[in-house]
């Protein structure tokens, strides 16, 4: 069997039984005994046995040769010999201890490359599916643009989203200098009225002493002199 087809069958068989951490390596440059090696993990003894059985059955159905299987009695590490390919199915603790990836993992093979387009399964998997244009769900629709709704200022303030109003920046007063402060209009008007009242009150105060002097002074005494008449 072609090695590309064989590695495709093995990967599919492992994925069918939920194999974990499946890796595939090319070993042609390391040994002449086999061309590929696959490593997968099973969470329990039952799953490792089921993974090995799935690989064996799928390869046999496709007309491949299964040379032998080892480790089925314990289920901790089951090895499936397919001639050109060796499959290691291990529990996580055993896999971490032996680290087969460090020994055989110089040339990893991507799992996508393991399923070549030349195979029937690969062509079916990669072939685009024909969609009926009569269904509204399959028709091309314009991409909807997000609509940004602007909230009124009153609503923003009620929800607490309104930004606080910026206070006007205070004028900087230089230190050590004098600052002139403008007089308000009311103060200027009061000062003007007081000045006018003072000006009108000054003549009255000046005339007051004269009036007081005339009013308080005693009336002047008139001296009447009697002139004696002489008899002629």
User: Are 21 and 43 in contact, with CB atoms under 8 Å apart?
Assistant: no
What per-residue confidence (pLDDT) applies to 170? Answer: 61
Predicted TM-score of the model (pTM): 0.50
What per-residue confidence (pLDDT) applies to 116? Answer: 46
Selected residue with higher pLDDT from 114 and 79: 79
Phi, psi of 25 (to 5 degrees): -130, 145
Residue 30 has pLDDT above 80, yes or no: yes
Residue-wise pLDDT tens digits, 208-224: 555 444 555 555 555 55
At 97, is the pLDDT very low, low, confident or very high (cuts 50, 70, 90)? very high
Q: What is the mean pLDDT of residues 32-53?
A: 94
Domain ranges of the chain: 3-125
Residue 150 has pLDDT above 80, yes or no: no
C-alpha span between 190 and 181 (Å, rounded):
17
Q: What is the mean pLDDT of residues 112-122?
A: 50
Q: What is the mean pLDDT of residues 221-229?
A: 57
What per-residue confidence (pLDDT) applies to 117? Answer: 42
Residue 71: name the closest of 88, 92, 56, 57 by CA.
88
Question: From the centroid of its chain, how far is CA 72?
Answer: 51
What per-residue confidence (pLDDT) applies to 119? Answer: 44
Question: From the centroid of its chain, how far is CA 149?
Answer: 21
Selected residue with higher pLDDT from 141 and 196: 196
Class of domain 3-125 as given by CATH? alpha beta
Least confident of 86-100, 176-190, 210-224: 210-224
Residue 9 has pLDDT above 80, yes or no: yes
Residue 83, CB half-sphere, CA atoms under 13 Å: how many?
A: 11
Selected residue with higher pLDDT from 206 and 112: 112
What per-residue confidence (pLDDT) applies to 191? Answer: 79
């Amino acid at each position: 069997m072609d090695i590309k087809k064989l590695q495709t069958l093995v990967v599919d068989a492992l994925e069918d039984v939920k194999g974990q951490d499946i890796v595939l390596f090319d070993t042609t440059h390391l040994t002449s005994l086999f061309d590929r090696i696959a490593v997968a993990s099973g969470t329990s003894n039952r799953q490792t046995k089921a993974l090995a059985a799935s690989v064996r059955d799928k390869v046999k159905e496709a007309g491949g040769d299964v040379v032998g299987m080892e480790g089925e009695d314990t289920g901790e590490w089951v090895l499936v010999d397919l001639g050109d390919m060796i499959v290691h199915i291990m529990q996580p603790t055993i896999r971490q201890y032996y680290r087969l990836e460090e020994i055989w993992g110089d040339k990893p093979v991507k799992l996508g490359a393991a399923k070549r387009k030349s195979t029937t399964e690969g062509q079916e998997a990669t072939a685009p599916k024909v969609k009926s244009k009569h269904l509204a769900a399959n028709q091309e629709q314009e991409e909807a643009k997000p609509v940004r709704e602007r909230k009124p200022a009153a609503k923003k303030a009620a929800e607490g989203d309104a930004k606080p109003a910026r206070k006007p920046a205070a004028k900087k007063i230089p230190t050590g200098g004098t600052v002139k402060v403008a007089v308000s209009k009311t103060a200027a008007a009061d000062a003007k009225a007081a000045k006018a009242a003072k000006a009108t009150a000054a003549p009255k105060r000046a005339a007051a002493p004269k009036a007081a002097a005339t009013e308080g002074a005693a009336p002047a005494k008139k001296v009447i002199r009697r002139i004696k008449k002489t008899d002629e």
